[in-house]
Structure 1
Amino acid sequence: MSKLFVCTALLGLLAARPAVLRAQPAAPRPAPGDTTTRRPVGLRPGYDDVGSGDHLFFMPTARNLRRGEGYAQDLELAVLRADYGLTDHFSLGILASVIPGQGLDNIVALTPKVSVPVAGRLRVGAGSFLVGTRSGVGALTYANTTYGTADHNITLGAGYGATGQRGIFSTPLVMVGGATRLARRVALVNETYFLYDRAFLDLGKVLLVAGVAGVRVAGPRFGGGLGVFYAHGQLEDADYLNGSGSYAYPFGEFTVRFGKLQ
C-alpha cells in the first residue's frame, strides 16, 4: 500500500508540473532599442547603444550611462577620455589631450553630466567640460535634449564657454547631431557645431560650422568609428586675418566599454 501511495504521489507531481510552469506569466520585454529602464542581461545581444549611448562621436547626448557602466575612448590618437555612470542619471568623466610636442600646454578636463527622462523617448540633460591648462582654466557648460532610442536618436543642445580671464562668452555654441542604426552592429553618426560671434576672443566676427560624419561599429565591449571631420569658417574685421576657408580631414576613434554590460 505504501509503495502504491508513493508512486501515485510522484506521478501526480510530475503531471502537475507542466501546468504550474504554464501558469507562470512571461517576464515583460522592453521594446527594441528601449533603454529607458535597465535592460535584462542577454536582451538583444550585440545591439548595444550607438557609441556608449551617452555621446555620438564626441558630442554628449541627453542619454546617460547606467550605474556601473563605463567606457574609455581614443579620438584621433590625440584625445583620451573615460566616463563612468555613478547612477543611472549622473556620470563623471575625465578628458585629456596628448598632442606630441605640446607638453604642459595639453589640456585636462572633468566632464560631469546629468540627464533625466521627461516623457516617452524624450530626455533632457546638462553638463560641463571643466578645462585646465598651464595658462588658465575655462569651461563649456551645456544643456541638451535627445529624442529617440539607442537605435535611432537626434540631439539638440547649446553651451556657453567661459574662461578665468574673459568671463562668460556672450554667444552660445549650438550642437545638432544624431545616429541611426543600419544593421546589428553598424550605425551612421553625425554631429555638427555652429558658432557665430561678432567679437570672438577679440579676433572679430567669426562664423564657424564644424562637425564629424561617419560610420560606427559597436560591439559588446569594443567599438570604433571612421568618418570625416569637416569645417567651414569665416573671419571678418580682424587685424591680421580676413577671409574664409573650408576643410575636411579623415577622422577615427576607438572605444572600450568596461564595467556592467546591461
Structure 2
Amino acid sequence: MAQQPTTPQTLRVLTVSPIVGETIDKQEKITYGLFPFYSFDDFREARFIQRLTPDSTITLQATMLDGSIKQRPFTISDFRAVRASIEERQKVLAATPGFTTGGIGTLDSLGQMYSVELRTGTSFIGRLIAKRAGEFEFQTTDVGRITVQQANIKSMQPLTADQAGRGWEPVGNGTRLFFAPTARTLRQGEGYLQDINIFFVGANYGITNNISIGGLVGLIPNAGLNILAVTPKVGFAVTEKFSVGAGVLFASVFGDTGGIGYGLGTYGTADDHFTLGLGYLFADGEVESSPVVVIGGATRVSRRVSLLNESYIVAGGFGGLAGIRIAAARLSGSLGILYGTNGEDGTVVPAYLEVTYRFGKVK
C-alpha cells in the first residue's frame, strides 16, 4: 500500500473491505475487477472518502499514473456493492488452486497483457483479468471481455507495455532461419512464397501440422541458373518449446543431382529459438562420410525486427549467415551477411537478400 497524504478533518477514509484495506492499488483493482470506468494502464490507486457533513457524501478518489486525481460520487448502495464484489471474488480465488504458485493465471500474472493463440488458429491480445476453474477471462480492446476455456488455449505469450501498445502480431511460426530450416513446422494451411537474391523463387506449404513440402527454382534458367530443388520436412513438438524434425533437400543443379538429408532439434518459441542439426550430403548415389553441423537461432528484438544467425561446420571449415529480418504479419524481408573461414583465410560479404509473403493461415 502506498503512503497516503494527510486527510483533512472534514473527511475520513473508508475501508470498503479489509481484504484491500484503505487504499486500493492497481494490482487489487485488477485482481478484484474493480472500477471498470478507469483504464488499467492509467490507474495507480484509489480510496473512498466520506465528508463529515450531514449528507455524509461518499466519493471515490482515484489517482492516475500521471498524478491527476479523479473523483466519482458513490451512494451507500454502490459502496456496499463494491464490498460484496470484492468478497465474492475473494471466495472464487480462494477456491481456485494454483493462484499463489506463480506462472500463467496466478495472482501475480493478473493484469498482464498476453498475445493468446487458440487451438482453432484464432489469436488476440488481451489483459488477463480473472482465472476460474478451467477458464481464463481477458479484457480486449476490440471485443471487450471474453472468456476462454483453458483447454482451448494453445499458447499465451506475455507482452511488455511497449509490445502491447504497438501490437505484437504473429510474424511466422519460426520454421526457418535464413536458408536453414528449424525443427518447428508450418501449421496446416500455412505457407509462404519467397524470392531469394532476386533470381531464385521458393515456396513452402504445411500439408498437415507435422508435414510440409517446399521447392526452389531459378527464375532465368538460360542464364546459368539451372537449379531445381524439392524440400520435404517432417517435425513434431516433443514439449511446448522443444521440437524435433527431419527432412531432405534434393536438388538438380546444371543437370547433376544431389542434396542433403538432415535431422534437427529446436528449442524455444516462434519468436525466440535455438536450433542444432546434423546433415549428410549426397550426390550420384554416394553419401559423404563427414556430416554438416548447423547451429543457429533467432531472437525478436522489437515489434518488427528479429536478429538471426545460422552457422555451418563441415570438414574442418566454418561459415554461415548473420543478419536481420524485418517482418509484418504477411510480408517480411531479410538481409544476411556471409562469413566463413577456409584455413587461415576469412571472408565477410553481403550474400543473402530475400522477401517473403505468407499466405493461408497466418496464426
TM range (shorter): 0.7 to 0.9
Letter in 2 for 1:174: V
Equivalent position of 1:253 in the other structure:
354
- 1:54 corresponds in structure 2 to 175
Q: 1:171 aligns to what SS in structure 2? A: coil
Q: Aligned partners of 2:302, 2:169: CA distance in 1, in Å?
A: 9
Higher relative contact order (CA 8 A, sep 6+): 1
1:78: how far off?
3.3
CA contact (8 A) 1:33 1:150 kept: no
| Aligned residue runs from structure 1 range 9-158, under 5 A | 39-43=121-125, 46-49=168-171, 53-98=174-219, 102-103=223-224, 106-158=226-278
Q: Once superposed, which parts of structure 1, at least 4 consecutive aligned residues long, lie more than 6 Å away?
A: 33-36
Give the whole-Å Cα distance in 1 for the aligned partners of 2:339 and 2:118. 33
Using the aligned pairs only, state the percent identity. 39
Structure 2 contact 190–362 (Cα < 8 Å) conserved: yes
SS in 1 for 2:185: coil
Whether the 8 Å contact between 1:34 and 1:149 is mirrored in structure 2 is: no
1:191 and 2:332 aligned: no
Contact 1:33 1:149 in 2 (8 A): no
Contact (CA 8 Å) 2:259, 2:282: kept in 1 or not?
Answer: yes
Residue deviations 1:10-60, cap 9 Å, x none? xxxxxxxxxxxxxxxxxx9xx96787955424458643245x521011110
Query: Aligned pair in 2 of structure 1 residues 116, 96: CA closer, same or farther (>3 Å)?
Result: same
Distance of 2:117 and 2:174 partners within structure 1: 9
User: How much has 1:100 moved relative to structure 2?
Assistant: 7.6
Q: Corresponding residue for 1:4?
A: none
Provide closer, same or farther for how the CA distance between residues 106 and 156 of structure 1 changes in structure 2, counting only shifts above 3 A. Answer: same
Tell me the CA shift for residue 97 of structure 1: 3.3
- TM-score normalised according to structure 2 size: 0.54
Output the amino acid matched with 1:221.
R
Deviation at 1:215, TM superposition (A): 1.3
Evaluate the alpha carbon distance shift between residue 227 and residue 132 of structure 1 in structure 2; reply closer, same or farther with a 3 A threshold.
closer
- Return 5+ residue gaps in structure 1 as ranges: 1-27, 197-206, 235-243
- Which residue of structure 2 lines up, in the alignment, with residue 12 of structure 1? none
Structure 2 letter corresponding to 1:257: R
Partner Cα separation in structure 2 for residue 53 and residue 71 of structure 1: 12
Cα displacement string for residues 149-205 of structure 1 (whole angstroms, at most 9, x for unaligned residues): 01210000010011115x011011100000111111211111111101xxxxxxxxx
| TM-score, normalised relative to structure 1 | 0.73
Amino acid in the other structure paired with 2:234: V
Which letter maps to 1:135?
A: G
Matching residue's letter, 2:348: A
**Could you give the per-residue CA deviations for residues 63-103 of structure 1, whole angstroms, max 9, x where no partner exists?**
01111111111222233211000001110001123478643
Higher Cα radius of gyration: 2
CA distance in 1, matches of 2:115, 2:341: 35
Contact persistence 1:36–1:117 (CA under 8 A): no
2:191–2:205 CA contact under 8 A, matched in 1: yes
SS state at 1:120 partner = coil
The alignment yields a C-alpha RMSD, in angstroms, of: 2.7
Residues 1:129 and 1:35: Cα distance change in structure 2 (over 3 Å): farther
